[in-house]
Amino acid sequence: MSQEYNFAYLDEQTKRMIRRAILKGLAIPGYQVPFASREMPMPYGWGTGGVQVTAACLTPADTLKVIDQGADDTTNAVSIRKFFERTAGVATTESTRDATVIQTRHRIPEEPLTEDQILVYQVPIPEPLRFLEPRETETRVMHALEDYGLMHVKLYEDIARNGEIATAYAYPVKVEERYVMDPSPIPKFDNPRLESAAIQLFGAGREQRIYALPPYTQVVSLDFEDHPFNPSKADHPCALCGADHTYLDEVITDDQGGRMFVCSDTDYCSRRQADGHRGDMAPPVLEALS
Amino acid sequence: MYVAVKGGEKAIDNAHSWLAEERRGDVAVPDLTVDQIREQMALAVHRVMAEGSLYDPDLAALAIKQARGDLIEAIFLIRAYRTTLPRLGHSRPIETDDMACDRRISATFKDLPGGQVLGPTFDYTHRLLDFKLAAEGEALADTAPIAPVDQAPMPRVTEFLNRDGLIQTEQASDATPPDMTRAPMAYPAGRPLRLQALSRGDEGFLLGMAYSSQRGYARNHPFVGELRIGKVPVSMEIPELGFDIEIGEITVTECETVNQFAGSKTEPAQFTRGYGLVFGQTERKAISMALVDRALRWQELGEDNVGAPAQDEEFVISHSDNIQATGFLEHIKLPHYVDFQSELELVRRMRLAAGADEVKEAAE
């Protein structure tokens, strides 16, 4: 396959077009740049935006990591990693530290990223105002006028009705005090890590939008003074590595209500176990890395 | 004991092997050839070419075989392949006036120059299962009679009306039309982009939209002024040569509807038009396209927006592409457990808060 297609699948003209959109996005943090998204050999909604952005960023010297739900071994992450192994021939890794480009769906790695890294998000609906106003023609004007009243009313109504803001993922943020941005469906626990040393790029293929956060960009989760933003997580330590500061998956272990909580970031969890951290249900030491 | 979810890669490989086996089916039954699909499943091939936006009957037939007959999957294969093709240039506009028609009918006139030609249509077949087709070794019972070659031109019905000023005149333009495959969609899209999107849009979606307009959601009284199906030559100017050469011919279906328009105080009453043009023999789609095109022209023709879905350009175009739609719809099969977990915690916390309130109220 790598012989029949160009490096990283897309032709150079298309990559150039995407890079222009990325540069524009970096110049206007949080602004959604329209781009002529291509049809990819994987379905829309399955990461075609992220794949196009990754394809435009990759060089032969890069090391790529792909995660979905924080894990390297979920089916779609495997499929996308395989796609780039075949079409770009780049090195791949499961280690957050060793990766130069990380494509992700729904999580930000636990480990702080560095200035030498690019984090690429797969975005289903880039428009944070979409569920308040379905028309693109309207939402573009709202962004242009910085008219975010509707969003604040929504958050206020949440508090009035439920006692708190009823958004647990894709929690809206404001970038450099200008654009309200959808951080993609990451849990709100991850929102504080949107302020990062790495370049963060967001690709929405079906919706034909790219947006970006340059390193160290100010990213504030929307809230009210008397109802401050709360990046909540399950109130448990990880059953495998014992971490009490990571985002956890809840795993059903039997049909009697048994459950356990484990790190969603599998690389971070296994690294901690290798360093000797043990949770309540950790396997014996020698098996931990198998 | 928790077993880490590993083995995604192996599971995918195994799923692909199983899929290949299922695609082939019972090996005691002969393998279906791409030629057989192209020749005997021609209308499926035409739909895949139309919605895949790539005119290549052999590739469309291959895609149908590979997709196990799932036409949207086949369209997807074609679209993904199409993206990788270099763009060498663009053809001259095809001239459907000169079409070698297999079928040409008008519902607005009893007879007309060039005549009514039914062609190979299902229209007047009785929908009774033909068990002879199920019998082994089907032989063609009787071959169709061949009409003498008729060179009579087939002028357009809408041009008869246009000559008398009875139908709205389409404004000619030499502007280069935009290309929806090379630029991101922006609204309002305008008619050239709308027609491009409708021509590759999902047949079922457009059928539903067109049907809704017939049932009263932005009703606009369509008549099929003319429907023609046949081959047209495609020519291209080769810059090095400085003149046009014919590079092939394609089958297309074209539908022009004649729609009622009441007129206004300043403008006399005139009929209006809807237009459909689709690759292949795809008349249900071409008629649907013409109806939806007409409904979307409300503003240009000075009609009221009655809030019908078929009048809403952004709604229709954003949702007509079946590859976008099926991808996003089916992506909810992917793992979402991180998002679900965050909602789970939120709901638990809110229930806990509600429960605490109840206890407090009871105590008071």
pLDDT level of residue A1 (50, 70, 90 thresholds): very low
Q: How do strand A63-68 and strand A91-92 relate by DSSP bridges?
A: parallel
The one catalytic residue in A25, A49, A241, A279 is A241
Q: How far is Cα A145 from Cα B144, in angstroms, rounded to an integer?
A: 67
Q: How far is Cα A80 from Cα A46, in angstroms, rounded to an integer?
A: 9
- Give the closest residue to B203 by CA, choosing from B69, B49, B60: B49
Contact yes or no for A203/A214 (Cβ under 8 A)? no
Q: Are residues A148 and A246 in the same domain?
A: no
**What percent of chain B stands above pLDDT 70?**
92
- Domain count of chain A? 2
**pLDDT at residue B363, rounded to an integer:** 57
Residue A41 lies in a domain: yes
Q: What average pLDDT does range A139-143 have in this prediction?
A: 97
Q: B9 at the A interface (CB within 8 A)?
A: yes
Residue B129 lies in a domain: no
Q: How many Cβ contacts (< 8 angstroms) between chains A and B?
A: 146
Domain with A38 in it: 12-221
Q: What average pLDDT does range B306-320 have in this prediction?
A: 96
Q: B270 at the A interface (CB within 8 A)?
A: no
Query: Is A238 an annotated catalytic residue?
Result: yes
Q: Are residues B253 and B107 in the same domain?
A: yes
pLDDT level of residue B358 (50, 70, 90 thresholds): low
Residue A226 lies in a domain: no
| Amino acid letter, residue B16 | H
**What percent of chain B stands above pLDDT 90?**
65
Neighbours of B33 (CB within 10 A): 11
User: Lowest-pLDDT range, A12-16, B108-112, B359-363?
Assistant: B359-363
Query: Is A242 an annotated catalytic residue?
Result: no
**pLDDT at residue B305, rounded to an integer:** 92
Query: Is A30 an annotated catalytic residue?
Result: yes
**pLDDT at residue B352, rounded to an integer:** 87
Neighbours of B195 (CB within 10 A): 19
Q: Are residues A41 and A84 in the same domain?
A: yes
Domain with B308 in it: 96-118+152-169+185-326
Domain CATH code at residue A112 = 3.40.50
Q: How far is Cα A172 from Cα A169, in angstroms, rounded to an integer?
A: 9
Residue B43 lies in a domain: yes
Q: What average pLDDT does range A71-99 have in this prediction?
A: 94
Q: Are residues A187 and A267 in the same domain?
A: no
Residue B2 or A23, more confident: A23
B99 CB burial (10 A radius; 0-12, 13-18, 19+)? buried
Q: How far is Cα A50 from Cα A68, in angstroms, rounded to an integer?
A: 12
DSSP of A118-150: EEEEE-S---TTTTT---HHHHHHHHHTT--HH
Please give the structure tokens belonging to residue B152. Answer: 């009579």
Q: Helix B283-296 crosses helix B203-214 at what angle (to 10 degrees)?
A: 60
Q: How far is Cα A70 from Cα A59, in angstroms, rounded to an integer?
A: 24
| Amino acid letter, residue B187 | Y
**pLDDT at residue B332, rounded to an integer:** 93
pLDDT level of residue B301 (50, 70, 90 thresholds): confident
**What percent of chain A stands above pLDDT 90?**
87
B270 phi and psi angles, rounded to 5 deg = -150, 150
Facing A43 at nearest CB: one of B8, B331, B343: B331
Q: In angstroms, how far is the first alpha carbon of chain A from the final one? A: 32
Residue A173 lies in a domain: yes
- Distance from the B93 Cα atom to the nearest Cα atom in chain A, whole angstroms: 24
Q: Are residues B165 and B285 in the same domain?
A: yes
Please determine, for residue B190, whether its predicted confidence score (pLDDT) is greater than 90: yes
Q: Are residues B279 and B351 in the same domain?
A: no
Q: What average pLDDT does range B72-92 have in this prediction?
A: 91
B101 phi and psi angles, rounded to 5 deg = -75, 130
Please give the structure tokens belonging to residue A202. Answer: 């967001």
Q: How far is Cα B44 from Cα B282, in angstroms, rounded to an integer?
A: 9
Contact yes or no for B103/B121 (Cβ under 8 A)? yes
Residue A100 or B361, more confident: A100
Q: What average pLDDT does range A135-160 have in this prediction?
A: 95
Q: What average pLDDT does range A177-185 have in this prediction?
A: 98
Q: How far is Cα B101 from Cα B98, in angstroms, rounded to an integer?
A: 9
Q: B329 at the A interface (CB within 8 A)?
A: yes
**pLDDT at residue B141, rounded to an integer:** 59
- Distance from the A185 Cα atom to the nearest Cα atom in chain B, whole angstroms: 7
- Domain count of chain B? 3
Q: How far is Cα B141 from Cα B138, in angstroms, rounded to an integer?
A: 8
pLDDT level of residue A250 (50, 70, 90 thresholds): very high
- Give the closest residue to B257 by CA, choosing from B167, B153, B190, B164: B167
Please identify among residues 53-82 of chain B the ones whose CB lies closer than 8 Å to any CB of chain A: 76, 79-80, 82
Please give the structure tokens belonging to residue B234. Answer: 């495609």
Q: What average pLDDT does range A73-77 have in this prediction?
A: 90
Q: Are residues B243 and B210 in the same domain?
A: yes
Please identify among residues 36-55 of chain B the ones whose CB lies closer than 8 Å to any CB of chain A: none
**A44/B328 Cβ within 8 A:** yes
Instruction: Indicate the residue among A170, A198, A221 that finishes a domain.
Output: A221
Q: How far is Cα A259 from Cα A237, in angstroms, rounded to an integer?
A: 13
**pLDDT at residue A200, rounded to an integer:** 98
The pTM (predicted TM-score) of the whole model is 0.90
**pLDDT at residue B356, rounded to an integer:** 67
- Distance from the A191 Cα atom to the nearest Cα atom in chain B, whole angstroms: 13
Q: What is the 3-state secondary structure (H, E, C) of B325-352?
A: HHHHHHHHHCCCHHHHHHHHHHHHHHHH
User: Lowest-pLDDT range, A207-221, B223-237, B274-288, B339-353?
Assistant: B339-353
Residue A3 lies in a domain: no
Contact yes or no for A180/A172 (Cβ under 8 A)? yes
Please determine, for residue A288, whether its predicted confidence score (pLDDT) is greater than 50: no
Q: Are residues B191 and B313 in the same domain?
A: yes
Query: Is A57 an annotated catalytic residue?
Result: no
Residue A119 or B87, more confident: A119
Q: Are residues A212 and A238 in the same domain?
A: no
Averaged pLDDT of chain B: 90
| Residues whose CB is less than 8 angstroms from the CB of residue B162 and which lie 6 or more positions away in sequence, other chains included | B169
- Give the closest residue to B237 by CA, choosing from B90, B19, B59: B90
Q: How far is Cα A175 from Cα A281, in angstroms, rounded to an integer?
A: 41
**pLDDT at residue B147, rounded to an integer:** 73
The one catalytic residue in A30, A70, A203, A205 is A30
Please give the structure tokens belonging to residue B5. Answer: 């979810």
Q: B356 at the A interface (CB within 8 A)?
A: no
**pLDDT at residue A2, rounded to an integer:** 41
Q: How far is Cα A215 from Cα A198, in angstroms, rounded to an integer?
A: 5
Residue A141 lies in a domain: yes
Q: Are residues B240 and B256 in the same domain?
A: yes
- Give the closest residue to A38 by CA, choosing from A202, A206, A184, A203: A206
User: Lowest-pLDDT range, A88-92, A119-123, B125-129, B300-304?
Assistant: B300-304
Greatest alpha-carbon span in chain B: 97
Please give the structure tokens belonging to residue A179. Answer: 């654009």
Please give the structure tokens belonging to residue A85. Answer: 């192994």
Residue B111 lies in a domain: yes
Q: Are residues A250 and A172 in the same domain?
A: no
Q: Are residues B106 and B223 in the same domain?
A: yes
Please give the structure tokens belonging to residue B255. Answer: 């539908």
Contact yes or no for A39/A14 (Cβ under 8 A)? no
Please determine, for residue B136, whether its predicted confidence score (pLDDT) is greater than 80: no
| Residue A200, CA atoms < 13 Å, CB-side half-sphere | 29
**Which tens digit of pLDDT belongs to each residue from B3-44?**
444 567 788 899 999 999 999 999 999 999 999 999 999 999
Q: What average pLDDT does range B236-260 have in this prediction?
A: 94
Q: Are residues A250 and A208 in the same domain?
A: no
pLDDT level of residue A3 (50, 70, 90 thresholds): low
Residue A6 lies in a domain: no
Q: Are residues B19 and B76 in the same domain?
A: yes
Q: B172 at the A interface (CB within 8 A)?
A: no
**pLDDT at residue A221, rounded to an integer:** 97
Q: Are residues A101 and A144 in the same domain?
A: yes
Q: How far is Cα B91 from Cα B67, in angstroms, rounded to an integer?
A: 30
**B339/A208 Cβ within 8 A:** no
**Which tens digit of pLDDT belongs to each residue from A270-283?**
999 999 999 988 87
Q: In angstroms, how far is the first alpha carbon of chain B from the final one? A: 46
- Distance from the B32 Cα atom to the nearest Cα atom in chain A, whole angstroms: 25
Residue A29 lies in a domain: yes
Residue B111 or A176, more confident: A176
